[in-house]
């Protein structure tokens, strides 16, 4: 996962590291947010969330591991 940073912020997507599932506190929790490029957001992030659906801590751990490998 790229963890993209650009001066042109229109190229960035904000990803919830662990899905918020409608929880307003988790939605706005800055420690649960990071930026990624569109390709990572629409690809790897979505694959991880689908593979671990219903297990937010497993999703968080898988995303963090993917980011370290990038």
| pLDDT tens readout for residues 2-49 | 777 778 888 899 999 999 999 999 999 999 999 999 899 999 999 999
Q: Is the pLDDT of residue 62 over 90?
A: yes
Please count the structural domains in the chain.
Answer: 1
Q: Is the pLDDT of residue 1 over 80?
A: no
Tokens standing for 43?
């690809």
Has residue 30 been placed in a domain? yes
Which domain, by its residues, includes 53? 9-69
- SS3 for the chain is CCCCCCCCHHHEEEEECCCCCCCHHHHHCHHHEEEEEHHHHHHHHHHHHHHCCCCHHHHHHHHHHHHHHC
Tokens standing for 44?
């790897």
Has residue 35 been placed in a domain? yes
pLDDT score recorded for residue 57: 94
pLDDT band per the 50, 70, 90 thresholds, residue 56: very high
pLDDT score recorded for residue 18: 95
């Amino acid at each position: 996962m790229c963890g993209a940073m650009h001066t042109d912020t229109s190229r960035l997507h904000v990803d919830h590291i662990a899905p918020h599932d409608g929880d307003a506190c988790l939605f706005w929790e800055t420690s649960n947010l990071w930026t990624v490029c569109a390709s990572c957001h629409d690809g790897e992030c979505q694959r991880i969330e689908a593979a671990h659906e219903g297990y937010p801590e497993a999703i968080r751990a898988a995303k963090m591991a993917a980011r370290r490998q990038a």
